Amino acid sequence: MSQVQSMQPGSSHTPPPEGFTAHLKFFDENDDQRISIRETLKGLERIGIGRLLAVPATILIHLGVSGLGLARGNLQNPILLSISRVSVLRHPDVAFVDRRHAFDETRLEEAFARYGRQNAGEALTFFESLEMISARLLQKTKGTELLLLPSGVVGAAVEWSALLWLAGERRDGKLVLTKQAAQDFYTDSSFFNVVAERLEQVRRERASSAAGKLRNVVQTWLA
């Protein structure tokens, strides 16, 4: 699933297709390079976030991105986020994107090797991911940004928890986020589409029974 392409032979700095905001196009329904509150809400619902959670999450995302932009001198309209202007704000969380806006695979390898103790550096449990986020944020992020979403501790924790829920897999009875899934999140422009298509397939299969239909309705609102 990964679409990683090296900048040069032997380089670990990998720019995803069209920059590391490529996967944000999933939320740009009308392809106008801007993401409205309605589009964010609809996109979150498509990847399995229930409406009762999607509404506050949408508000926090838009306020957080615009707030972070304000802190960095890059003003954003909280009602209509510009994808091109978000490009300098995305993923400051754990420093896997460098100053050239390129994904740094080496940093990901090092982080998983250090914190992924239960799975030999190949996957992170929920608590290991929280440990990684907290440590790297305190080391890399400016004090004022720690209070803002999505670069603050809370915002990063929510983002990585959601990533674990969306793309995690079971190992020894525990839900873990593999290193490959994390890399795909940063480098694969089809990441959210794959998640949405997989969820839609599951819902179609469940709809064959009354219990499955009921579960689909419940998850539409709750998760």
For 96-129, give the DSSP string: -B-TTS-EEHHHHHHHHHHH-GGGTTSEE-HHHH
**What's residue 76's pLDDT?**
81
Element (H, E) at 176: strand 174-178
Query: What is the pTM (predicted TM-score) of this model?
Result: 0.75
**What's residue 203's pLDDT?**
93
What residues of the chain score a pLDDT lower than 50?
Answer: 1-17, 19, 92, 149-151
